[in-house]
Structure 1
């Protein structure tokens, strides 16, 4: 395993450990970022179900950062529609920077609390 892969795996496990201990009954906002798109979903870990999901393929606007912000706003609207206001942010192995940060800030502006 390369050094870069080991670093990403360590970061992912460290962040996941923090998210699991902080969950306390709140759904988890999980992020997946590919080279072209970004996806976000709300997961209820207690029942193992997905509450809402949005991807940038569905909301395509301008740059990738703009698309990420649109995904955050759309996910916040879907969560509020289902009655979810507080979530735990699970950024996985991704640094809180760029598209991940844009998605998180847009979700906060949309009404989610994390």
Structure 2
């Protein structure tokens, strides 16, 4: 883990470590991991047993940019949630484990999760 001096980032990484002790993605129930930066949000579905990413999307992906641009960061997170759910269902993935990556379940993280659930993912 890189050396961090920002206390908020240090707290997030502590939460992340605590969460990841108990959450792993398997072949039948992979892990939906998210990351949010100041400008963008990323989501990927990972099989931790094989160590591969099955599906990934973000606000930087071409699928996101092809559609209508969302209003604000929460709107962008909702759109990414819909995209990741659609791509997962196309690959036959219906059940996942949600990994909020140490981020508090609020705002953009919650919007992405709710949109993915509404689009058909089960978690």
Give the TM-score taking structure 2 as reference length. Answer: 0.83
- Which residue pairs with 1:6 in the alignment? 10
1:72 is matched with which residue: 81, 95, 103? 81
Map 1:1-114 onto structure 2 (within 5 A).
Answer: 1=5, 3-20=7-24, 23=25, 25=27, 26-58=29-61, 59=64, 60-114=69-123
1:109 Cα shift?
Answer: 0.3
Q: Deviations over 1:36-77 (max 9, x none)?
A: 000000111111111111101232411110010000001000
| Deviations 1:16-44 (CA, angstroms, capped at 9, x unpaired) | 12213xx4541110101010000000111
Unaligned stretches of 5+ in structure 1?
A: none
Whole-angstrom CA distance in 2 between matches of 1:107 and 1:100: 11
Q: What is the DSSP-based 3-state SS (H/G/I as helix, E as strand, rest coil) of the residue aligned with 1:19?
A: coil
Over the aligned positions, Cα root-mean-square deviation in angstroms equals 1.5
Normalising by structure 1, what TM-score? Answer: 0.89
Q: After TM superposition, give the deviation of residue 95 of structure 1 in Å.
A: 0.5
Structure 2 unaligned regions, length at least 5 = none
Deviation at 1:2, TM superposition (A): 5.4
Aligned residues: 112
* CA 1:2–1:63: 2 relative to 1, 3 Å: closer
**Structure 1 outlier segments of 4+, above 6 Å:** none
